[in-house]
Amino acid sequence: MPVVPPVRAKREPSHEHSGNYQEHKKGDVWFKAAFKRGLIDHTPLMAEFKVVITDFGSPENELEAAEFRHSGLDVELIRLNAKTAPELLPTVVDADALIVQWTPIPRDVIAQLRQCRVISRYGIGVDMIDLAAAGEHGIPVCNTPDYCIDEVSTHTLSFILMLNRQIMPQDQHVRAGKWGPPTPTPPARLSTQTLGVVGMGNIGRVVVQKAAAFGLKVLVYDPYLSADTAAQAGVERVELETLLQRADYVTLHCPLTEETRHLISTAQLQQMKPTAYLINMARGPIVDQPALVEALVSKTIAGAALDVFEKEPPPADEPLLKLENVIFTPHLSSWSAESFVQLRREVVQNVVTVFQGQQPRSIVNRKFLVAPTRQQA
């Protein structure tokens, strides 16, 4: 399909521009006189593109602004700190692009986006955006699929090593003034154990590669994984039930969809070994959290390691937080100095690519794009 240069719809001047202009006008007598005589065009200069960052963990967005400047595009960058969809309105109505971290972007908000050309996500998961609604309005949704592959896969192996070597119990044992083994049961040799990987996307593949260095046997459940790809990766492709029954560690790396919501619940936890551990590196709602609490309390499984919760941050009275056989991290498995910079650059590059009339590299709602995308309209 030929690329058509983007067409910019007219937008009313923003209050921010008008306010700055008025302050400048008041401060210069000559300017006021020239303005009154019509020698100066009083229309505020408007940027060609309006981009709204709905929310982001960093308190500043200078790196994003610098990336837009480097692109040569004339961009007005607006930063919100919206927690809910209603807080986005009316700012996003005339935006040409949204950059989103956690703010929900539901159907009713998307319907009010008059000229949005792209929604770009800080991260891999896109469960906070109504992909179908965006597609119906011709808006591609893009993620940043490879910014944290190394970090999340390393975090996964860190959890496995901590669980296998009983690092947390040993640490607590020493802090309590004790010495020797914290439990009567020694850990199994890691190279004799089996890892079950649920979801073999970009991160799952690297987890498999790193696990091989420790001699772990790897089982994979992924309904979209071909037999040839599994063979090339040196893994055994199995059904979920088989994986749960055989694995010593079950690690989750699948996206949150209606298909995967509560993929792991009471029945699945009961299929696991009593010596097995569950690791969730994906999204909290993939695991039925009350069912997990019950399995941990009843010793149906030995323990868990979680980077995500169903509700984030978890409330102070969350039952999981009271259990000793769980390791927690605050949804930071993707975090490193390098990944943080890469994430911010790639989220901007998605937008720049669309504004330049090109197809971005990672459209996640392609199957819903029933209408021509707006940059091609």
Annotated active-site positions, please?
Answer: 283, 312, 331
**DSSP per-residue letters across 308-330:** --SSSSPPTT-GGGG-SSEEE--
Q: What are phi and psi of 324, to 5 degrees?
A: -90, -15
Beta-strand pair 249-252/277-280: parallel
CB atoms within 10 A of CB 366: 13
Cβ pair 369, 135 in contact under 8 A: yes
88, 121, 134 from 374: Cα distances, Å: 21, 18, 11
Query: If you ran DSSP here, which 8-state letter would residue 191 be given?
Result: G
Beta-strand pair 277-280/75-79: unpaired
55, 119, 347, 357, 362 from 353: Cα distances, Å: 21, 12, 10, 7, 11
Cβ pair 152, 334 in contact under 8 A: yes
**DSSP per-residue letters across 25-79:** HHT-HHHHHHHHTT-S--SPP--SEEEEE---SSS--HHHHHHHHHHT--EEEEE
Tokens found for residue 260: 């995967």
